[in-house]
Structures are given as C-alpha cells and as structure tokens.
Amino acid sequence: MRFLNICAALAIFFSANATANPLIEQLIGATTAFLEKEIEQHLDQSSRDARHSISVNRLDSRLRLTPCPENSLRATLESPAVPVGRVTVRLACESEHVRWRLFVPAEVNLYQPVVVVTRALGRHDAINAEDLTLLERDVGQLNGGYLTELDQAIGMRTRRSMREDTVLNPNHLELDEIVKRGDRVIISAANSQISVRMPGEALEGGVIDSQIRVRNSRSGRTVTARITAPGQVEVAL
C-alpha cells in the first residue's frame, strides 16, 4: 500500500510539472529571447566565430504570480558583465496592475575553436606547430583564458608542464630565450662621448630587455647587462 501511495504521489508530481504553466513559459521565453539578443551582440562586438546554446534552469512550478501583460516585461543582465557561462537575468513586470520582480538563473555555452596541446609538454619546452591544434571548447568554462590562433603560441616556451589536450592560456607561456647560458655575446657600452664593444659569455639566458649576468672574456669581470638582440647585450657606463 505504501508503495502504491508513493507511486501515486510521484505520478501527481510529474504530471503537475508536465502541465503547461503560462507563467513559467513566459519566464523561460523572455529569458531565452533576452539572452539570445545579448549573446548575438557580444559576438558581433568581439568578431568571434562561435556557436552557442542557452539553457534556463528549472523553475519552481509552484510560483503563484500573474503572467505579465504583453510589452510590460523587462529583462536585464544581473550578472556577470558578459553573457557567457552561468548568468542571472533580472525579469521585472512593470505594468499598471501587475508588478513583480524575479531573478532567473541560466547558462550560456559558447563554443569556439581554441589552441590545445597535442602531446604532453614539460616545463620550459619549446612549442612547435606540431604540438598544437585547434579544437572546439566551451570557452565559458575556461576561467584562465584561452588562445584562438596557433601563431600566438608557436615559438614560445611553456612555463610549466602540461598534459595532452590542455587548453593553452597566456599564463602557460613565456618567450623563448634569444640568449642562452654559455652563448658568446658582444658586450656594448656607450654614452655621448665613447662607445666600447668587447666579447663576453652569457652566464644566464633571457629574452629581449632581460637583465642577465655576463662575463667579460678579456678581463674576466662579471657584469649585469641588458639583452638588446640575439648575441648582443648592453651595459650602462
């Protein structure tokens, strides 16, 4: 008997949820239409080539509000500032006889090709074209950012090790060293009155404008110099 009562209760519950509810239909319709417009504007402004989907969270069918008269329902984006990922839409009925306000949660999935690594990479590994590909991902779920062009990563190095299929973001990358430890370099020093050039050896690696330690091959003295080009460093007089 208890089992039958439970089944009857479940049948009533699901049939009640399946019954059309004009208010719920209005809320879902208004939220979806608003988000469609917002995401289209966002894509137009950012010149993105992406597809999207919108899902409105399940609403409580026990809501006892009067449906809002046509043209009196206003929708605004409550959060976040960009209509991607988990969003909240503020719906307000502002007619003469019906006034209420609701916050409707929804999710906007934005799918776009992003740069993904094709194999496991170690820390400070150089990134080549064969290490990368473009795969579609939901960018609303990529909290650390992402890259959309392979050229943004080719020639760079990894700051940390990463697994195959990792979505690259700017924080994963560092410039490749144009001067490496042990390289022979030309040390330049100049002011308005004198210019000196001498051979040296890099004791550290670095990129353009990095400050590294360099040993003067003639004097054996170690100085701090700024990298200005491949094989070229500069010290202040």
- Per-residue confidence (pLDDT) for residue 144, from 0 to 100: 81
pLDDT in tens, 41-70: 988 888 777 899 999 998 888 888 899 998
Q: Give which of 118, 168, 109 is closest to 139, Cα–Cα.
A: 109
Separation between Cα atoms, residue 91 and residue 32, nearest integer Å: 12
- Per-residue confidence (pLDDT) for residue 38, from 0 to 100: 94
As annotated, the residues of the chain forming the CATH 3.90.1210.10 domain(s) are 112-174
State which H helix or E strand residue 86 sits in: strand 85-94
As annotated, the residues of the chain forming the CATH 2.30.30.760 domain(s) are 184-235
Helices marked H in 19-110: 22-46
CATH architecture observed for domain 112-174: Alpha-Beta Complex (3.90)
CATH architecture observed for domain 184-235: Roll (2.30)
Assessment of whether the complete model's pTM goes beyond 0.75: no
- Decide if pLDDT at 193 tops 60: yes
